[in-house]
Amino acid sequence: MNHNLITFDQEQGIFHLKNNEISYIMKLEDEGVLAHIYFGKKVNQYHDHKNYPRRDRGFSGNVPGQEERAYSKDTLPQEFSSHGSMDYRIPASIIQRQNGANLTDLRYHSYDISAGKPVLAGLPSAYVVEENEASTLTITLKDRFEEIYLDLFYTIYNERNVIARSVKVRNLTNQTLSIEKIASMQLDLTNSGKYQDVLSLPGAHVQERQVNREKLSAGIKRFESRRGATSHHMNSFIALMEEDANEFNGEVIGVHLVYSGNHSFELEVDQINQLRLVVGINEYNFSWELKTQQEFQTPEVLLAYSDSGLNKMSDTFHHLLRERVARGAHQYAERPILVNNWEATYFDFTNEKIEAIVDEAADLGIEMFVLDDGWFGHRNNDDSSLGDWFEFEGKLAKGLKAVADYVHAKKLKFGLWFEPEMISIDSKLYEEHPDYLMQVPGRTPSGSRDQHLLDMGRKEVRENIQKQMEAILNTIEIDYIKWDMNRSMSDTYSVALESHQQGETAHRYILGVYELMENLTEKYPKILWEGCSGGGGRFDAGFLYYMPQSWASDNTDAIERLKIQYGTSIAYPTSAITAHVSAVPNHQTGRVTSLKTRGDVAMSGVLGYELDLTMLSEAEKDEITQQIKVYQDLRPLVQYGNFIRLISPFEGNTTAWLFVAEDQSEALLFMARTLASAQPVFNEVRLKGLAEDFLYEDQATGEIYSGSELNQIGVYFPDFYGDFQTKLIHFKKRGN
Ligand code: GLA
């Protein structure tokens, strides 16, 4: 165990988590209040000089039990706050007792330091492979009067700029408690004005993870989802940034919630310009009954610190999510180039149509065929059959197995679409189990895409779906599954819960989905699983724990994808971001772009095709064959190299990003210009992260560049002609 990572100075009451890059410091203030001192670049030694400045402030009352008028929780930077005890800022916890009182007063109780990192039962989280790669500090707080305990977990890794945090509530009173709010973390930053900006990733269906940066000012700002899932509308990620921080410079703190349900990121600039950040399960429509002796574990938050801008923060998360959140046989595997029949056929397919697509796919060198929505129940459009996971014999006359066999005979892998959490009213499942549908008794539930949620918090519901899926998986050889979810939660109610427990429904739903995914991924470890929710509605760190890749967006337009993929890259690694070449005019925007542009953009993610291959011209077939060869060569670099953003599509007419191999032996530069001009400016881009003294050869032209000239001087964009132009340059170290 690496004892050096965490120290506790008993005399001064100081906890210091430290590795070669970062420090996290806390202090036991008077009366056992756990104060936050610092999170940021490594501090070699902290000698206890920066204590809470005492000052008597009007209307900021005193710490209960303390007569000192200059000591107030209302302004004290704390590690974890509660409602009550005169801290009027956003509380991290609200715990109600049977008498209705909902204030607590949390004080230090004890601590523990252990090797490695605890597993969070039933929840996704970052993990360790070796015990000695991380250490965990647990600080236990206790209510001043009652046996209510909060364990605050802090894990620090040896080699990562990351602190992983979560909280466990333990009820050792002899009464039942109701948790009205329990955050995964709080961060109180005293240095007023240091992190003036917040970056978030809001969006919409077919417009996910747009980059939004704004100034923080007095009052409360929330970034949240109330939709029961992560949502397209606000990703479960934010970054705090210094005012002048950018992609390469300045200090940045990235905050990832490892959770797939209702989340909130609350920021409050208080009366003296201090910043409080509270992150966790959204308290909206949430409560949790905690009986005596029971515990509640929150989801985990991952905090990354960067002293060199957003790119370094992203790099920290890319490595962490890829190496210590994603799991399974495909974690580091090269992901197959697939063709998906959704935009090719939608619901209108037969064995013959699919065989024709598969024939073409095999000729083109595509590696996997995915049969999307419409193969089950009696589903010919989106208003029926969800929940009926048996094959639609009326549609696939030769059967589903014949499809799989045909695909495999052509030496392709076979993938299949499921939407396991849903039920259609027009289904056998609904006929047999109408109560499985999540709804409030006596009220007609709100429809969305003519479908409803199953109450996944119920064991019998999960078991039913698992059994049905297993019947398919045990009879048909399936190499890949796309796990979809195509509506937001409403009518949030569970007939399995007591009236006072209804606030648990949404979280129990997510826990149920996690359990089902854990069961299935464990039972079928060879399958490559891809997350999806109407595109990228559940693209989050929690899902990555079960499924190493996710469909980034139902928007396949190459130009809109520039922003979607750029925004997604801020928080997620390329190996997780799937991207398809589709037909033109694009089905979502009507835009026409060249096959080259569509290919170049999709090749910047996990490449796939989603168009009717039987409609291609010979020239298009040749071009796709070529794209596939190029991508197969680039694949390890793109999927597992370091990704660096160079020019943002949110700021102008051009975009550039770069993939650099870990050993710097090769790099791939992507450049795009959106709109043409008759009198264009000279666009240029400087590369980053190449080895200064290596010589690199442009694989297309043979031109030789030194790493330093690419880093320092850079290259011009090509003299593009026309709208929507892109270019890839593959540099390889000479002599490789
Ligand atoms: C969602 C997915 C699409 C497709 C359809 C099928 O919208 O994101 O890729 O699978 O469902 O209904």
DSSP string, 406-453: HHHHTT-EEEEEE-TTEE-SSSHHHHH-GGGB---TTSPPPPBTTBEE
Residue 1 has a pLDDT of 43
Residues of the chain with CATH 2.60.40.1180: 647-733
Contact 506, 438 (CB under 8 A): no
Torsion of CA 707, 638, 333, 316, to 10 degrees: 70
Q: Which two tokens stand for residue 27?
A: 């202090």
Of the pLDDT bands very low, low, confident and very high (cuts 50, 70, 90), residue 192 is: low
Ligand 1: which of 206, 382, 554 to mutate, most ligand atoms within 8 Å of CB? 554
Helices (runs of H) and strands (runs of E) counted in the chain:
12, 38
Find tokens 């069961």 and name the residue: 519
Pairing outcome for strands 197-202 and 234-241: antiparallel
Residue 736, pLDDT > 90, answer: no
Find tokens 């020019």 and name the residue: 647
Q: Hey, whose CA ends up nearest to atom 2 of ligand 1?
A: 534
- Its pTM stands at 0.98
Q: How far apart, in whole angstroms, are the C-alpha atoms of residue 330 and residue 359?
A: 26
Q: How far apart, in whole angstroms, are the C-alpha atoms of residue 308 and residue 30?
A: 36
Residues of the chain with CATH 2.70.98.60: 6-62+70-324
CA of 373 to the centre of ligand 1 (A): 7
β strands within 455-586, DSSP E: 480-483, 528-531, 549-551, 577-582
Q: Tell which atom from ligand 1 comes closest to the C-alpha of 482.
A: 10
The mean per-residue pLDDT over the stretch 70-93 comes to 96
Ligand 1: lining residues by beta carbon, under 6 Å:
342, 372-373, 382, 417, 484, 486, 532, 534-535, 551, 554
Q: How far apart, in whole angstroms, are the C-alpha atoms of residue 641 and residue 635?
A: 9
Residue 344, pLDDT > 50, answer: yes
Cis? peptide before 434, omega within 30° of 0:
no
Task: Name the CA radius of gyration of the chain, rounded.
Answer: 27
Domain 338-639 belongs to what architecture?
Alpha-Beta Barrel (3.20)
Residue 415, pLDDT > 50, answer: yes
The mean per-residue pLDDT over the stretch 238-245 comes to 97
At 105, give phi and psi (nearest 5°). Answer: -135, 100
Ligand 1: which of 532, 555, 609 to mutate, most ligand atoms within 8 Å of CB? 532
Q: Hey, whose CA ends up nearest to atom 6 of ligand 1?
A: 373
Residue 633, pLDDT > 90, answer: yes
Which residues are 657's β-sheet partners? Answer: 645, 670
DSSP letter for 158, please: S
CA of 580 to the centre of ligand 1 (A): 13
Mean model confidence pLDDT for the chain: 97
Active site residue 105: no
Of the pLDDT bands very low, low, confident and very high (cuts 50, 70, 90), residue 735 is: confident
Q: How far apart, in whole angstroms, are the C-alpha atoms of residue 659 and residue 638?
A: 6
Which residues are 110's β-sheet partners? Answer: 140
**H or E element, residue 115:** strand 106-115
The mean per-residue pLDDT over the stretch 390-407 comes to 97
Residue 559 is which amino acid?
Answer: I
Contact 650, 566 (CB under 8 A): yes
Q: Tell which atom from ligand 1 comes closest to the C-alpha of 535.
A: 8
Q: Tell which atom from ligand 1 comes closest to the C-alpha of 610.
A: 9
Residue 380 is which amino acid?
Answer: N
Residue 591, pLDDT > 70, answer: yes
Pairing outcome for strands 577-582 and 606-610: parallel
The mean per-residue pLDDT over the stretch 32-49 comes to 96
Torsion of CA 591, 597, 602, 608, to 10 degrees: 80
Q: How far apart, in whole angstroms, are the C-alpha atoms of residue 272 and residue 587?
A: 51
Of the pLDDT bands very low, low, confident and very high (cuts 50, 70, 90), residue 282 is: very high
Q: How far apart, in whole angstroms, are the C-alpha atoms of residue 95 and residue 373?
A: 44
Given the candidates 3.40.1550.10, 3.40.50.720, 2.70.98.60, 2.40.10.10, the CATH classification of the domain at 6-62+70-324 is 2.70.98.60
The distance of Cα 672 from the centroid of its chain, to the nearest Å, equals 26
Active site residue 554: yes
Q: Which two tokens stand for residue 684?
A: 């240029």
Residue 255 has a pLDDT of 98
Q: How far apart, in whole angstroms, are the C-alpha atoms of residue 51 and residue 40?
A: 17
Helix, coil or strand: residue 290: strand
The mean per-residue pLDDT over the stretch 558-562 comes to 98
Measured between its terminal Cα atoms, the distance across the chain in Å is 40
Q: Hey, whose CA ends up nearest to atom 12 of ligand 1?
A: 373
CA of 179: how far to CAs of 120, 289, 504, in Å?
A: 19, 6, 10
Helix, coil or strand: residue 626: helix
Contact 556, 588 (CB under 8 A): yes
Ligand 1: which of 484, 485, 487, 549 to mutate, most ligand atoms within 8 Å of CB? 484
CA of 346 to the centre of ligand 1 (A): 9
CA of 8 to the centre of ligand 1 (A): 51
Q: How far apart, in whole angstroms, are the C-alpha atoms of residue 179 and residue 83?
A: 11
Q: Hey, whose CA ends up nearest to atom 1 of ligand 1?
A: 534
Contact 645, 678 (CB under 8 A): no
Helix/strand/coil percentages in the chain, nearest 5: 20, 30, 45
Other CB atoms within 10 A of residue 475 CB: 12
Length of the chain: 736
Q: Tell which atom from ligand 1 comes closest to the C-alpha of 532.
A: 8
Q: How far apart, in whole angstroms, are the C-alpha atoms of residue 218 and residue 551?
A: 38
Other CB atoms within 10 A of residue 170 CB: 18
β strands within 649-699, DSSP E: 654-660, 666-673, 684-685, 695-698
Residue 7 has a pLDDT of 97
Best CA proximity match to 638, nearest among 672, 602, 671, 610: 602
Residue 85 has a pLDDT of 87
Reported as a single tens digit per residue, the pLDDT across 450-508 is: 999 999 999 999 999 999 999 999 999 999 999 999 999 999 999 999 999 999 999 99
Q: Hey, whose CA ends up nearest to atom 7 of ligand 1?
A: 534
Ligand 1: which of 207, 339, 340, 373 to mutate, most ligand atoms within 8 Å of CB? 373
Reported as a single tens digit per residue, the pLDDT across 346-356 is: 999 999 999 99
The distance of Cα 415 from the centroid of its chain, to the nearest Å, equals 23
Best CA proximity match to 451, nearest among 481, 428, 426: 426
Other CB atoms within 10 A of residue 486 CB: 21
Q: Which two tokens stand for residue 612?
A: 């009717």
CA of 310 to the centre of ligand 1 (A): 32
Reported as a single tens digit per residue, the pLDDT across 637-678 is: 999 999 999 999 999 999 999 999 999 999 999 999 999 999
Pairing outcome for strands 413-418 and 480-483: parallel
Q: Which two tokens stand for residue 218?
A: 């007095």
- What count of Cα atoms within 13 Å lies in the side-chain half-sphere of residue 179? 29
The mean per-residue pLDDT over the stretch 292-318 comes to 98
CA of 591 to the centre of ligand 1 (A): 20
Active-site annotation holder among 74, 455, 554, 612? 554
Ligand 1: which of 417, 419, 483, 485 to mutate, most ligand atoms within 8 Å of CB? 417
The mean per-residue pLDDT over the stretch 169-192 comes to 95
Q: Tell which atom from ligand 1 comes closest to the C-alpha of 551.
A: 8
Domain 647-733 belongs to what architecture?
Sandwich (2.60)
Contact residues for 150 (Cβ-Cβ < 8 A; gap 6+): 80, 93, 106, 140, 141, 142, 167, 168, 169, 170
Q: How far apart, in whole angstroms, are the C-alpha atoms of residue 451 and residue 463?
A: 20
Q: Which two tokens stand for residue 447?
A: 């429809």
CA of 111 to the centre of ligand 1 (A): 48
Active-site annotation holder among 484, 540, 600, 612? 484
CA of 482 to the centre of ligand 1 (A): 9
Q: Hey, whose CA ends up nearest to atom 11 of ligand 1?
A: 534
CA of 53 to the centre of ligand 1 (A): 56
Q: How far apart, in whole angstroms, are the C-alpha atoms of residue 697 and residue 730?
A: 8
Q: Tell which atom from ligand 1 comes closest to the C-alpha of 382.
A: 12
Contact 81, 106 (CB under 8 A): yes
CA of 503 to the centre of ligand 1 (A): 30
Residue 193, pLDDT > 80, answer: no
Where b means 16+ CB within 10 Å and e means fewer, 679-691 reads eeeebebebbbbb
Residues of the chain with CATH 3.20.20.70: 338-639
- DSSP readout, 585-624? S-TTT-----HHHHHHHHTTSEEEEES-GGG--HHHHHHH
Residue 128 is which amino acid?
Answer: V
Contact 691, 663 (CB under 8 A): no
